[in-house]
Each structure stands twice: as C-alpha cells, then as structure tokens.
C-alpha cells in the first residue's frame, strides 16, 4: 500500500493519471527553454579617410572583430543585425556622425539589443557624449560591449563597472 501511494504521488507530480507504468515526459528529453535572440549592432569608426580605399581597411577589421565576438556569444542568443554602422573619416570628439545617428535611431525604434565596438573610443572620445549614449542605452534596455577591453554591460559586473566609471567621471 505504501508503494502504491508512492507511485500515485510520483504520477501526480508528473501530471499523470492511473496506476500503470510512468512514461517519461517530453520523450525522455529534458525540457527545453529557448534562448531569447539578442540583436547586435557592430559600430565602427576611423577618424580619417586615409586607408579606407584599401582592400581590407580598419573599419572592416573592427567589424570582423565585432562579428567574431558576436559569433562567440551565439549560445547566449546573440545574432548580428544585417545593417552596418561604419563612420569612416569622422572624429570621435562629437556625435555628428551619420552611422552613429542611424544606430541611435534604430536603438530608439527598439531594433537593437546590444551595441558592439572594437574599443570604447571608437564609439566616442568625449566623456559627456559617452554618458549621454549610456543614458539612451539604459532607457532603451540596450547593452554595450567593447571587444578588446573586456567591457560588457550585459552582465551585472559590467553594469557595476560602467556605473563606477561614470560616477568618477561626474565627480
């Protein structure tokens, strides 16, 4: 009777009825949870036009590094968007750059989840502009990753690091 009660309890816990053999759920496979897709945009910038006409230039090298990093995070659901955001021949000292403006518009439209750059100074060289960009990222739920500087706000430690840096900058 105790064994029968145990079988009844196990069947109830598994959502089964009756007293026959217990069939495994999901064909014996563990339940699957779909990893949410994270749409990633790679932003590249080079201050001068010099060398941009080469077969393989700095912007392409930055983009390839960003795409390789995104590919390494595929298990986390990261996928690169098809659009490119390349500002060749534009200073990082201001935000008056066509590709950056397009990127920010796409972020505001909810089309981007993660911004990937080769180095932080490719996004901006201005601390106040960086703070403004981070404000938009925070408001829209977008994360920021610098491939070569191990800076990643998709993690809690990365967000803490960013907040500490911005706090020191404000101080």
Whether residue 97 contacts residue 87, with contact meaning beta carbons closer than 8 Å, is answered with yes
Alpha helices in 77-125 (DSSP H): 98-108, 120-123
Give the tens place of pLDDT for each residue, 95-104: 999 999 999 9
Give the tens place of pLDDT for each residue, 123-171: 988 888 988 999 999 999 999 999 998 778 888 888 788 777 767 655 5
Closest residue by Cα to residue 147 from 37, 55, 70: 70
- Which pLDDT value is given to residue 19? 45
Report pTM: 0.73
Least confident of 16-25, 72-81, 115-124, 142-151: 16-25
């Amino acid at each position: 009777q105790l064994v029968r009660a145990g079988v009844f309890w196990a069947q109830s816990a598994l959502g089964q009825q009756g007293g026959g053999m217990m069939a495994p759920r999901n064909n014996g496979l563990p339940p699957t949870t779909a990893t949410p897709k994270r749409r990633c945009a790679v932003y590249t910038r080079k201050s001068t036009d010099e060398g941009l006409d080469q077969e393989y230039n700095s912007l392409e090298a930055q983009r390839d590094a960003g795409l390789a990093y995104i590919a390494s995070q595929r298990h986390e659901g990261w996928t690169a968007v098809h659009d490119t955001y390349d500002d060749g021949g534009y200073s990082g000292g201001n935000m008056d750059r066509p590709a950056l403006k397009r990127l920010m518009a796409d972020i505001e439209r909810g089309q981007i989840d993660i911004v990937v750059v080769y180095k932080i100074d490719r996004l901006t060289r201005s601390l106040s502009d960086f703070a403004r960009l981070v404000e938009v990222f925070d408001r829209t739920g977008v994360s920021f990753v610098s491939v070569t500087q191990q800076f990643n706000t998709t993690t809690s430690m990365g967000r803490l690091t960013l907040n500490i840096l911005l706090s020191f900058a404000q101080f």
